[in-house]
Each structure stands twice: as C-alpha cells, then as structure tokens.
C-alpha cells in the first residue's frame, strides 16, 4: 500500500506542476476558459498577473514537494561482508554509538557527536568533539582520528571521508558532561 500511495502522490504532484506551468505560461487561455463559467466579461492586466503568480507558486511548491518525494533516502545500513547466501550489514546507528563511546573514552574529550553516512561498503563520518580548553588541538585531533579508524576497522567497515571538528567550552569538565 505504501508504494501505491507514493505513486499516487507523485502522479498528483506531476499533474499540479503541469497545470501550474499552463496557468503561468498561457494565462489568457486559462482566463478565457474561466470566463466562460463566470459573469466577469473583461480580462484585465491584474487578472493576468494573478494567473502568472498563481501558476508560478503552484510550480514551485509542487516541484519542491515532488523533489522531496522522489529523492532517495539515506541508507540505514552499511555492508560489512558478502557471503554466498547473503550479506552481513551493520546499522549506521550502531556504528555511530560505538564511535561515540570510543571517542568519549579518550582523555580530554567531554562529549562526542558523530554523524555517519553509509556509502554502500564504506561510511563517511563527521564528528564533533567537545574537549577541555587545555588540550593540544592538533595532537587531540590526531588521537581522535586514530581512535575512529581503529573503531571502524574492528567493526569490519571501510572508512570513507572523515571530518573531525573540535570545540571547547571554557571551564567544562567531565562531571558537567553528563548533566
């Protein structure tokens, strides 16, 4: 039923885009058609402008909604290995939780917020780490990068792109982290 509903929505949105294009591009014909059903006998420049604005608005809204409906959603799993009778996959959420645990165990890191995107057999990671204000930034970034690489390697997943963003708060400590 979900596929049927999605197809119906796509067809309706395509129809709205087509109608919006017709209303915006040929306002005289549309207004002449509407004039047949109304008592207003004169089509003014304001009517043409209103038709153009209405058609353009329909195209923009329906087109954006159609784009959001058709675009693919990000993968929720990453393939760990292929076997003769299937594949083994790991959820992206599990990868993110493991990375967070490992990085938060590093001395000087108060909080870690990983964002993991699956690319089939590999993952791209963007990590935001909250650190003490007294840490050596290049050394801590290298240490966190190594921890992430080791963590990903132990899970059997290949690492694609890795971005590490460090930030610190003045006076933050490990005790404040859980609050």
CA–CA separation, 24 and 58 (whole Å):
9
Q: What is the pTM for the complete model shown?
A: 0.61
Side-chain-side CA neighbours of residue 98 (13 Å): 19
CA–CA separation, 149 and 65 (whole Å):
39
> In degrees, to the nearest 5, what angle opens at C-alpha 102 toward C-alphas 129 and 152?
100
Tens digit of each residue's pLDDT (9 = 90 or more) over 148-172: 999 998 888 889 999 999 988 776 6
Tens digit of each residue's pLDDT (9 = 90 or more) over 72-128: 777 788 888 777 788 888 888 999 999 999 999 998 889 999 999 988 788 999 999
**What does pLDDT average to over the chain?**
84
């Amino acid at each position: 039923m979900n596929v049927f509903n999605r197809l119906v929505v796509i067809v309706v949105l395509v129809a709205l885009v087509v109608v919006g294009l017709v209303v915006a591009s040929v306002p005289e014909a549309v207004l002449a058609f509407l004039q047949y059903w109304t008592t207003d006998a004169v089509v003014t420049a304001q009517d043409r402008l209103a038709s153009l604005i209405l058609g353009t608005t329909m195209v923009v809204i329906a087109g954006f909604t159609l784009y959001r409906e058709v675009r693919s959603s990000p993968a929720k799993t990453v393939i760990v290995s292929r076997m003769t009778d299937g594949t083994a996959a790991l959820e992206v959420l599990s990868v993110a939780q493991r990375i967070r645990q490992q990085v938060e165990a590093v001395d000087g890191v108060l909080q870690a917020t990983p964002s993991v995107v699956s690319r089939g057999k590999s993952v791209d990671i963007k990590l935001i780490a909250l650190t003490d204000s007294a840490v050596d930034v290049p050394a801590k970034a290298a240490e966190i990068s190594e921890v992430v690489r080791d963590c990903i390697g132990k899970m059997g997943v290949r690492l694609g792109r890795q971005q590490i963003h460090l930030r610190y708060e003045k006076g933050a400590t490990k005790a404040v982290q859980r609050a």
